[in-house]
Amino acid sequence: MAELPAMGIMDFVQRFHALQVQRDTSDGLIKDILMYCDGLQRENETLVAEIRNAQLDLEDSRKSRRDLQEQLLKVTQNCNFMEVGRLSLRQIRLLIEGRIGTLISWF
């Protein structure tokens, strides 16, 4: 049979202590990772809320733009109608003035 190396109790204590330090370091790393993940989760929730608000703002902006385009179209149509009406009134005025001038020249 092979002989086992002679180990004293202090060798076991040193190995146990090294193992305990390694376990404590590992536990600390796990805690740090969990805290980091928690921070990422909160940041993600914040970003999701911001995206939701931005989407609502975008929908509202689109609706406002459509409303403004409709109003502009109506105003443009009214201006065109008024311009045509103004030209017609001018032609009627000139026609009336021309006839009155003709009537006055007859007397």
pLDDT of residue 35: 97
pTM recorded for the entire structure: 0.53
pLDDT tens for 8-35 read 888 889 999 999 999 999 999 999 999 9
Rounded to whole angstroms, the Cα distance separating 4 from 45 reads 59
The Cα–Cα gap between 74 and 69 comes to 9
Q: Which amino acid is at 7?
A: M
User: What's the pLDDT score for residue 107?
Assistant: 47
Cα gap 20→22, rounded to integer Å: 5
Neighbours of 101 (CB within 10 A): 10
